[in-house]
Structure 1
């Protein structure tokens, strides 16, 4: 069983740590964070261990780099001397937006095995979408161990390094877009007289159920949309209002804007 070390336990690092503890014995999961209290609180919640960057760099088999892109160079400079002295095998797992596998290796100073991942926050409850790509020196056995370790995160799908930013713009940034839509739906419900709590619950359950319906039936969302739009009915009038407001174009623009930002990091 692999030992997992998380350097950075923010929203994303914490979500993956929660997912990992569903598949990996908690005493094999180590957490480090710039704010130690944050790592301690999460370790207590998950019954796993607190460490520091140095300890994780010395001993973890899978080293998850859960730091923001602008801090990656600083963290790598700190742990590189330790990695260089290691005799045991390890893999760097980077979740930093915009940083390719070659860039991670450049910061590390050597062609270490690297797995680049683009997860999202629903991974914390086992409903995540995690894209990943392995450098050429990650073995099939190591890839299998990695996938087993994060099985509790949700869906894991291979994606070429060059497409990671696009995947992140949809699945990584998407939860924020979906949250905005849920909030807007609830606001509309409140405007029509629904109590706030019920409006939020019904909007969220509708999103959950609709997504599961598409995934489990394999039907195109356009087909599912048409099934709800009765001739002369209320739904098609709502669709008309969304189209008049440029709904689909706005969503596409949001994805492209997020992708362009990642490309420039």
Structure 2
């Protein structure tokens, strides 16, 4: 079983690292437009440096880790290799806004396509990966993918029509959270904390709060209320966030990302 990654940028690299937690280095093929980047990752993982056409012609799972705008050119390049294959393979697309049907049309065949939306925390095994098996992808192939990529974090099946919405939350969300953590740290610095300490406090707080939410099963509003003592400091901070339209701003960020995902050209 071989997993080939075409594109070893932030997302492709994160998934390759996740795959290496379950697969042997020899089972992982890496290619990138800038070969030096793929070579560095191959050395790090003990994986094999390859190229687009070799991966397209040989890997059991071909990960298409390029930007949506570049997908057409990539599939045109590797299309001839895909067409002459007689063995079974699955195309794994992580391109925002590109449907299973889009990938098949650009590839020039009704190939099995597994559409996924991972996020950058996959690189440390704490990711959230959404997936939609296209027509022709067998349950066995989905299970091999899930077992081999289990080192990425959590996985959730999702109807393709909801992929843009899921991507806006799970895929774009790390950037929103990073912005929030940076703002928290800036506030701490404004109050006199050293920068490094403020960042540590903010990051660990977010990590712990997320785990508490997932493991307790409680509604976030209930957990928020547990911190807000009557007449206390936290409720005053919450009041200021509400005055600034914090929740509305976050909702609008998700909606904007979702709408953009549905209109990728």
Equivalent residue, structure 2, for 1:91: 90
Q: Does 1:82 align with 2:81?
A: yes
1:70 aligns to what? 69
What's the TM-score once normalised by structure 2's chain length? 0.99
CA apart distance, 1:196: 0.5
The unaligned stretches of length 5 or more in structure 2 are none
Aligned to 1:209, the other structure's residue is in SS state helix
Question: In 2, Cα distance between the equivalents of 1:52 and 1:12?
Answer: 18
User: Which residue does 1:248 correspond to in 2?
Assistant: 247
Q: State the distance in 2 between where 1:133 and 1:264 align.
A: 19
Tell me the distance in 2 between the aligned counterparts of 1:56 and 1:210.
Answer: 41
Q: Does 1:217 align with 2:222?
A: no
1:125 corresponding residue in structure 2: 124
Aligned counterpart, 2:196: 197
Question: Residue 52 in 1 paired to residue 20 in 2?
Answer: no
Query: Over aligned residues, Cα RMSD in angstroms?
Result: 0.5
- Secondary structure, in 3 states, of the residue corresponding to 2:105? helix
Gaps of 5+ in 1: none
Q: Hey, which bits of structure 1, 4+ residues long, moved more than 4 A? A: none
* Alpha-carbon distance in structure 1 between the residues aligned to 2:139 and 2:99: 20
- Superposed CA deviations along residues 165-190 of structure 1, whole A, max 9, x for unmatched, are 11110010000000000000000001
Following the alignment from structure 1 to structure 2, what is the Cα–Cα distance between the partners of residues 15 and 36? 17
Quote the residue 1:187 is aligned against.
Answer: 186
Q: Deviations over 1:77-107 (max 9, x none)?
A: 0111111000110000000000000100111
* Cα separation, 2, equivalents of 1:103 and 1:63: 16
Q: In the TM superposition, what is the alpha-carbon distance from 1:136 to its structure 2 partner?
A: 2.4
CA displacement at 1:149 relative to structure 2: 1.3
Q: Does 1:172 align with 2:171?
A: yes
Instruction: Please give the secondary structure, in 1, of the residue aligned with 2:30.
Output: strand
Q: Secondary structure at the match of 1:168?
A: helix
- Once the two structures are superposed, residues 86-138 of structure 1 have per-residue CA deviations (whole angstroms, 9 ceiling, x without a partner) of 01100000000000001001111111000000000000000000000001211
